[in-house]
Amino acid sequence: MSTAAAISHPNIAFIKYWGNRNNELRLPSNGSISMNLDGLFTRTTVSFQPSLPFDELIINGHEVVGKGLERVSHILDLIREKAGIKMNAEVMSENNFPSGAGIASSAAAFAALAVAGSKAAGLDLSERELSILARRGSGSASRSIPAGFAEWKLGESESDSYAFSIAPADHWNLADCVAIVSSTHKKTGSTEGHAVAGTSPLQNARVTDAPRRLDICRNAILKKDFEALANIIEHDSDMMHAVMMTSNPPLMYWQSATVEIFHQVREWRANGLPVGYTVDAGANVHVICLGEYKDEVEKRLRACPGVSKVLVAGVGGAAEIV
């Protein structure tokens, strides 16, 4: 028996990944940039055991079977193949953030699985190899492997599409204040969403323009230019949602409270508060701000109609063995 444990942080995309050029390999249609979220994490333990008749997955104390287990077994298969082992594994995973809180758990989950699983199998993978392995489980997980601010490059092939750190966590004190908007609607998951992105006539324009947005975002981070960052993340998020809304079937993730917050955030910024919004495949709004304003932003968001809760996170480090 061989066991290893790892922790990994979820991330929020500033330039979004939406659509794949190869769904099976999760080779993205465009590059993306994100920030890891400190304080929020997934802790995963992987234990390969000769006596196990099949892989087992336990998330937050509950056994998971079906699609969720298949997705994990797929990554374990890639690890077994690399390590030349045949044993099944027990995977135990816990999130310290509530599910359905508007924070995608798949990024942190597959990053932690890649790190713990490869270590338990006796492999010593580089950050690049870990990012590629995590990507095969969930595209955004590639960006939870490196520290701080990460860029996932498009790449030319399977072995060339991975994320790397463009700046460490302590480079810039930013915060993500996540406004949780109550929603009774069942959302379409990202995997199904990526598969229909190409049906929108706007996707091509969004993808073709991505290098420009990536340059602006990368430079804003490197120069710590908040105004430029706020403008580009809002623009990029709006472009992704325009694709979602115009795909077939159309995906409308926003609630009225979501849009209400957009207006508020833009007004606050016009009046001097350093804030900008971005939204993933859900209704909750990630309000990015300079770290010193996080209490003020949290307070204002709590007072917005339709906001049930606000989670606050700083910039997080790399996925690591614990």
Positions touching ligand DP6 (CB under 6 A) are 13, 16-18, 26, 32, 104, 106, 138-140, 190-191, 194, 280-281
Q: Which is nearer to ligand DP6, 13 or 116 (CB)?
A: 13
| Residue 252 CB-half CA count within 13 A | 4
- Minimum distance, C-beta of residue 241 to ligand DP6, in the bound complex (Å): 9
In the complex, least distance from residue 271 CB atom to ligand DP6, rounded to whole angstroms: 29
C-alpha angle 218-242-68 in degrees, rounded to nearest 5 = 80
Q: How far is the CB of 13 from ligand DP6 (least distance, A)?
A: 3
Rounded distance, CA 109 to CA 134, Å? Answer: 9
User: Which CB sits closer to ligand DP6, 253 or 268?
Assistant: 253
Separation CA 69–CA 57 (nearest Å): 6
Q: Are 82 and 124 in contact (CB under 8 A)?
A: no
From 80, 82, 75, select the one nearest 111 (Cα to Cα). Answer: 75
Q: Rounded to the nearest whole angstrom, what is the least distance from the CB of residue 272 to ligand DP6 in the complex?
A: 29
Measured distance CA(24)–CA(156) in Å, rounded: 15
Give whichever of 42 and 140 is closer to ligand DP6, judged by the CB atom: 140
Q: State the nearest-atom distance from the C-beta of 26 to ligand DP6, in Å.
A: 5
* Cβ 124 to ligand DP6 shortest distance, Å: 26
CA atoms of 101 and 285, how far apart (whole Å): 11
HSE (side-chain half, CA atoms, 13 Å) at 72: 29
CB closer to ligand DP6 out of 48 and 253: 253
Amino acid code (one letter) for 194: H
- CA-CA distance, 136 to 110, in Å (whole number)? 9
Report the residue number, 87 or 285, with the smaller CB distance to ligand DP6. Answer: 285
Q: Which of 240/307 has CB closer to ligand DP6?
A: 240
For residue 51, the minimal CB distance to ligand DP6 (Å) is: 31
Crossing angle of the two packed helices 210-223 and 226-245, in degrees rounded to 10: 150
Nearer to ligand DP6, 20 or 118 (CB): 20
